[in-house]
Structure formats: structure tokens, C-alpha cells
Amino acid sequence: MHVLTRPVATLLALFDRLADRRAVEYLERVVIQLSVLGLIAHLGLVAASQAGLLSGSLSTHIGQSFLAALYTPFSFILFFEVFLLVLALPASTTVSLGKQYEIVSLIILRSVFKDVAKFDGLSSLGSEQAAFFDVLVDMGGGVTMFLLVALFYHVSQRRPKGTILKRRAADVSERLQRFIDHKKLLALGLTGVLIVLALWSFIGWCIETWGVVMHGRAAFLDVDQVFYVDFFTTMIFVDVLVLLLSMRQNTAYRLVFRNAGFVVSTILLRFSLTLKKPYDVELALLAVTFGVAIAAIFRYWTWLSRTPAAE
């Protein structure tokens, strides 16, 4: 019988409360409200920048195009997607990796708003070919990622919404329940890391903004790399821990290879976040393509294991 100590039971109960559908829906409403407020606030700052009410360095930091304001609400949405990724960890390794793919695809799509904001109008396309090239790369990469993520879920026979564990303890074996509990504890720890990284990134952004406002310093933080690079670095080690824990469940070659391949895909995603365009998008596409191939071959291996051997 799977007996839990009081501290472990308390931590598992805490995760279950975080993963409760009502809690997730409440957080979703909060994120939507913050996204709307962030959009309005950013639009107001851009209007003040265009009216000449802000310093030159601050105007550059905020952006002088109203299209730049689209970047802000998308950042709140991305943070919520990262939270859903944490909740998906105990439910399924495959769905967890799929959520990582979704997050990177949204980061690429968010970059489109940042790239488009560099244009003054359609007349500037001819003189700003480098910026236009960035837009095309992000648009093409985003839609290709969208397709590849769908293929990944298809070949894995998983539903994208499978982020919350729905099995009851009575429906699983004792060994599987222990594995699920370990992943819940990992997910709870990852939640703490997520909060710390978010606060650290926000503090760094505030310090940078203060330097821009008070001292006219140039902005040095890359908002595309802040938070997400460190988070995906953490995810690499979390995925390795899940791989090791899964080997206590099943040491079959096909399962070990699949989970190890998923770790490689996560590593490629992590590196893609630090590269310059177009290599960042290309490596992200390679990471997802590799994951699709691993999932498809694993499904073929599963079919082989069910096929009666010839005498």
C-alpha cells in the first residue's frame, strides 16, 4: 500500500488545489484582466511618447508605434501558458512536451508584433528590408510550428487539453500512483521556481526601466530571452528527473529512448531561445520536428509490440 507521510500528503494536496479546475479558471480570468490593463497602459505610454511627453531613451524603451503595445498582453498570456505547462507535468510526459512546443511557438508569434512595430508604414518596407525579413521568418516559423505541434499531438494520440490529471488513485496501480505523486512534487517545486524567476525578471526589468527614466541609459535586457531561457534550462533537468523516475516504472527500450529523445528536444528548444534570427526559428522547428519523429517512431514500436510474432 502506498502510504504518504504528513508533509508529503500536505504538498500533494497543495498541488491538487493549484491544479483544480476552478483555480485554473480563476487565474485565467485574472490573466485576461491584466492583459487588457497592460494593453491600455502600453497604448497610453505610446501616445505620450508620440506627443513628446517622454524622454528620448524612455520612448525608445517603450516603443513609438501603437503596434508595439500588442507585445504586452501576449506576454501575460505566455506566462499563463507556462503555468499550464507546470500543471501538465504529472498528467503526461507527452502533453508536457507539447505544452513546451506551444510556448515556443507563441514566443515566435509574439515576435511578429515586435517586428511589425519597427515599421513606420507600408512605404518603409523597401528601406527596411532586414526588419521585413524578420517578420517573414517569424510568420513562417510560427505557422509551421502551429502545424508541427498539431502533428505531434496526432502521432502521440494525445489531446492538447490534457493538462490536469483526472485519474483517481483507485484507478491506477500502487507503483504508477507513486510515480504520479513524484511528478506532482516536481511540478510543485517547478511552480516555486516559476514564481522566483518571474519575480527576478520583473525586478530586473524595473531596475532597467528606472535607469532609463532617471539616467537616460540605453535598455540592455532582451525581453525575448528574459525568464524563458532560465525556465527552459530548468525544464531540461526536470525532464531528466522524470526520465529517471519513469525507469522505475518501465525500462523498455522504446520508452527509455522516447523519453531521452524528448529531453534532447527540450535542450534544442532552450538553445533556440538564445540564437539570433533566423537561426532561432530554424532550431525551434528542428526541435519540434525531432519530437514528432520520436513520437511517431514510438507509436510504430508500440504497434510492433502488439503484433503477434511469426512462428
pLDDT digits (tens, 9 = 90+) for 151-174: 999 999 876 665 455 544 455 677
SS3 annotation, 115-179:
HHCCCCCHHHCCCCHHHHHHHHHHHHHHHHHHHHHHHHHHHHCCCCCCCCCCCCHHHCCHHHHHH
- pTM for this prediction: 0.86
Average confidence score pLDDT of the chain: 83
pLDDT tier at 150, thresholds 50, 70, 90? very high
Q: What is the mean pLDDT of residues 269-287?
A: 93
| Rounded Cα distance, 106 and 264, in Å | 20
- Taking alpha carbons only, the member of 95, 86, 103 closest to residue 160 is 95
Q: What is the mean pLDDT of residues 222-248?
A: 84
| Predicted local confidence at residue 165, as pLDDT | 53
Check if the beta carbon of residue 182 is closer than 8 Å to that of residue 245. Answer: yes
For residues 231 and 215, the model is more confident at 231
- pLDDT for the residue numbered 173: 74
Contact present, 104 and 283 (Cβ < 8 Å): no
pLDDT at residue number 268: 96
For 204-230, the pLDDT digits (tens) are 777 777 776 666 665 555 655 568 888
Percentage of the chain with pLDDT > 70?
Answer: 82
Q: Please tell me the predicted confidence (pLDDT) of residue 263.
A: 95
Residue 296 — very low, low, confident or very high, per pLDDT cuts 50/70/90? very high
Provide the Cα torsion 80, 83, 85, 91; round to 10°: -130
Count the Cβ atoms, other than its own, within 10 Å of residue 77.
15
CA gap 219, 57 in Å, rounded = 8
The rounded percent of the chain whose pLDDT value lies above 90 is 40
Q: Omega of the bond prior to 278 within 30 degrees of 0, cis?
A: yes
pLDDT digits (tens, 9 = 90+) for 43-100: 998 888 888 777 666 677 676 778 778 888 888 898 899 999 998 888 888 989 999 9
Mean pLDDT on 264-281: 93
pLDDT greater than 50 at residue 1: no
Given this model, what pLDDT does residue 53 score? Answer: 78
